[in-house]
Amino acid sequence: MTDDERNQEALFRHAILGDVLSRNLRRGQLRPALKQLAQQTYQDPHGRMRRVAYKTLEEWYYKYRNGGFEALKPRPRKDSNRSRVLAEDIQQLILDMKREDPGRSAPLILRELELAGRIRVGQASVSSVERLLRRHGLSGPRMELEQAARYRWEASMCGELWQGDALHGPLLMNPATGRAQRAIVFGLLDDRSRLIPYLEAGFGETEERFLRMLHQAIARRGIVRKLLLDNHASFNGYDLRLLCARLGIHLVHSRPGDAPSKGKIERFWRTLRGQLVERMDRERVTTIDEFNLRLWTWVEMEYHHQPHSSLSGRTPLEVWESEADQIRWAEDHSQLDESFHGEVERLVRNDSTVQWRGVFYEVPPYLRRQRVRLRYALLDSTRVSVLDGATEIPLRRVQPADNAHRSRAAARPMEVSADVPKTGLNAAELILARAAGIDPKGGDDE
């Protein structure tokens, strides 16, 4: 029992005896008063209904008269903070086992002790082991000493850091597959202002979808200086790293399993779920467009205008607008779109095809067996072209069935000009002449 619990129990006892303690009783009046109290039912600090015996009430009464309020507190157990079922050497062994392997759980430690014959089966409970570990600061799956320090922090200005993440939303009908599929919401949050640069729901948790969302965010809210993402494949691909390098964005990934490091966007997701996603009328929201309409209406009309406790009562939009001069805006949107393209070198096969990300594309036949540069759009994986000098030639996917009926006429050979010089040298004739002993310059070798 903790000190607070002992205080609560003492207050409970004093409340029962309050009327008796406040009266100046004469001889013979105490016993009937206590017996009357013993017939009543009382609610204790834990919400349980209790009845107290006459002898117990009498004991409490004289304790209070002799020692005051402190005497009403339950006395601490003499074996407090000591295990009654685990011997001292077993307790030390349990602590050593936890320090040896911090991942050991209390049930596993107990089972290993039973298998080793150090304690009898059923001699101790899991809660006994957990209490022992808790008293020594070893109650978690990792010891407290091994946990990294965590501090409250935020970016120094708007546009310095965006936190990105994905939220699994409701099941909606996907017209591409004809069946219900989980909607995935990609979102970005400005660390300084808590403003949402952009978010969008769609189907599939892919890098291409995240890049499209990032493009919209940059076009609307400027070029961020640093991105904080987790280690999902959609946040860790080649195209994203290439884009960040071009735009001067420092890409940072959190430690695996460390969700609190992105606590601001995790808290935003919780607010979004509680205020919108879990309270939508599912009969009226059946498509991804209807879902996105409600997402953006809530963000722009509600969230951006709500005072935020971490912003000293200001709204995200107020903080963003007050520091708008520090944002790195995209001055030329055509150059921004150009940054969302990648190039890669590939070898064209003999059948005039080139493979890119598992898809075969047709290349002009004159480029067969040559190494070419492919140019592709980061926002649309189907837009692929080949660069031939300063010319960009769009490519299309190979259609094997259609190619079965295409003409395969070879190019016309070059016409031989009449003034082509004739050397008179021919390998087959020269070899034959040597075998016959004929001097190729004329006459016999002998």
Q: How confident is the prediction along the chain (446 residues), in pLDDT tens digits per residue?
A: 677 888 888 898 888 888 888 888 888 889 988 998 999 999 988 888 989 999 999 999 898 889 888 888 888 765 555 566 788 888 889 889 888 888 788 889 888 988 888 888 888 888 888 888 888 878 754 454 555 667 778 889 999 999 999 999 999 999 989 999 999 999 999 999 999 999 999 999 999 999 999 999 999 999 999 999 999 999 998 889 989 998 999 999 988 877 777 889 999 999 999 999 999 998 999 999 999 999 999 999 999 999 998 899 999 999 999 998 989 988 888 888 888 888 888 999 998 899 988 889 999 988 989 999 998 888 887 889 998 888 889 999 988 887 777 776 655 555 555 677 777 788 888 888 888 888 777 655 54
What is the amino acid identity at position 153? W
Q: Which residue shows structure tokens 């009926």?
A: 405
| Cβ-contact 191, 161 below 8 angstroms | yes
Per-residue burial over 298-336, b if 16 or more Cβ lie within 10 Å, else e, is: bbeeebbeeeeeebeeebbbbbbeebeeebeebeeeeeb
Is 435 exposed, middle or buried, given 0-12, 13-18 or 19+ CB atoms closer than 10 A? Answer: exposed
361 DSSP β-pair partners: 354, 397
Collapsing DSSP to helix, strand or coil, 235 comes out as helix
Contacts of 109 (CB under 8 A, 6+ apart): 94, 97, 98, 129
353-356 vs 380-388, strand pairing mode: unpaired
Is 109 exposed, middle or buried, given 0-12, 13-18 or 19+ CB atoms closer than 10 A? Answer: buried
Predicted structure pTM score: 0.60
| Cβ-contact 38, 51 below 8 angstroms | yes
Is 52 exposed, middle or buried, given 0-12, 13-18 or 19+ CB atoms closer than 10 A? Answer: buried
226-229 vs 250-253, strand pairing mode: parallel
Residue 107 corresponds to which tokens in the numbers above? 């049930």
162-174 vs 226-229, strand pairing mode: parallel
Residue 69 corresponds to which tokens in the numbers above? 């309020």
| Cβ-contact 141, 163 below 8 angstroms | no
How large is the C-alpha radius of gyration of the chain? 40
Instruction: Give the DSSP letter string of 240-308.
Output: HHHHHHHHTPEEEEPPTT-GGGGHHHHHHHHHHHHHTGGGS-TTT--SHHHHHHHHHHHHHHTGGGS--
| Cβ-contact 129, 113 below 8 angstroms | no
Write down the pLDDT at residue 256: 80
Longest dimension (CA), the chain: 161
Write down the pLDDT at residue 418: 61
The one-character DSSP state at 259 is: G
Write down the pLDDT at residue 400: 84
Write down the pLDDT at residue 80: 54
Number of DSSP helices (H) and strands (E) in the chain, helices first: 14, 13
What's the CA gap between 247 and 252, in Å, rounded? 15
